[in-house]
Amino acid sequence: MRVEEAAAALREAYRAGVPCAPLRERLLPVGEVDAAYRVQRRMVDGWLADGRRRVGAKVGLTSVAVQRQLGVDEPDFGVLFADMAVPDGAEVPAGRLLQPKVEAEVAFVLGADLPHEQPTTVDVIRATDCVLPAIEIADCRIAGWDISIVDTVADNAAGGLFVLGTTPRRLGEVDLRTCGMVLEHGGSPVSVGAGAACLGNPLHAVAWLAGTLVAAGDLLRAGDIVLSGALGPMVPVIAGAAYQARISGLGSVRVAFASEESQ
């Protein structure tokens, strides 16, 4: 399968609302991550041509355990668009996503560009305007979440939607490495974690993304939103449920999902 054929399969999954078969054994060269990023780039270029507005980027596979599961030794990344943003506390309509899962993250809002191929932690700190609690609503256009690194990279790093909290904090107000996270459904914890689960510190994830984008001929820019990666395990969404993430030092953020009956 060539790059355009893989992109066409993903476009059809979006259009029809039906997940497609895994791409990893069909995308040539087989198992080649660079080819998967070419598919992602083809998808992104098409979306931009259609008028979608890029507002940032997301880091995935920041958990060492997940990296081992997929046989990789570094994260991946995808693009965020304005129409992926969901207001804090809003309800996602039934049928908008195919196979949604939720995870809690720290979102960075940049106040300056990050143009260096080897950015330091200090570069990231200086470039950050504020941080926010966030819920990423991951989605997958591959049937049954039967993914490898190739599948998820091609599929915009399983990008779906995202929800940002409304309590911005300066970096000096919170220790991102030790901040604890609880993701709740119905008042009960369904996922717990801490900043250290995200490459040791969410700052490290943003530095990795910034350098990786520069090496690829792109960069993180002032005003960008960066979802830095999960602080705990991802949780499948239950229709009709509401989820709230609490991150110590950052506050909380909430999202609900309409029941299937409301579709």
Residue 144 domain-assigned?
A: yes
Residue 91 domain-assigned?
A: yes
Cα(40)–Cα(249) distance, integer angstroms: 35
The number of domains in the chain is 1
Residue 61 domain-assigned?
A: yes
By the 10 Å C-beta count (0-12 exposed, 13-18 middle, 19+ buried), 236 is classed as exposed
Cα(84)–Cα(261) distance, integer angstroms: 23
Residue 33 domain-assigned?
A: no
Q: Rounded to two decimals, what is the model's pTM?
A: 0.95
Residue 31, pLDDT score: 65
Cα(6)–Cα(42) distance, integer angstroms: 10
Residue 17 domain-assigned?
A: no
What confidence tens digit (pLDDT) does each residue in 51-92 have? 999 999 999 999 876 777 677 778 999 999 999 999 999 999
Low-confidence ranges of the chain (pLDDT < 50): none
* Bridge partners for 20 per DSSP: 142
* Bridge partners for 78 per DSSP: 58
Residue 263, pLDDT score: 52
Residue 229 domain-assigned?
A: yes
Nearest-CA neighbor of 167 among 80, 256, 249, 255? 249
Cβ-Cβ contacts under 8 Å for 239 (sequence gap 6 or more): 94, 257, 258, 259, 260
Residue 16 domain-assigned?
A: no
Residue 22 domain-assigned?
A: no
Helix (H, G, I), strand (E, B) or coil at 124: helix
Range of the domain at 251: 53-262
Residue 16, pLDDT score: 95
User: CATH no. for residue 186?
Assistant: 3.90.850.10
Cα(167)–Cα(199) distance, integer angstroms: 24
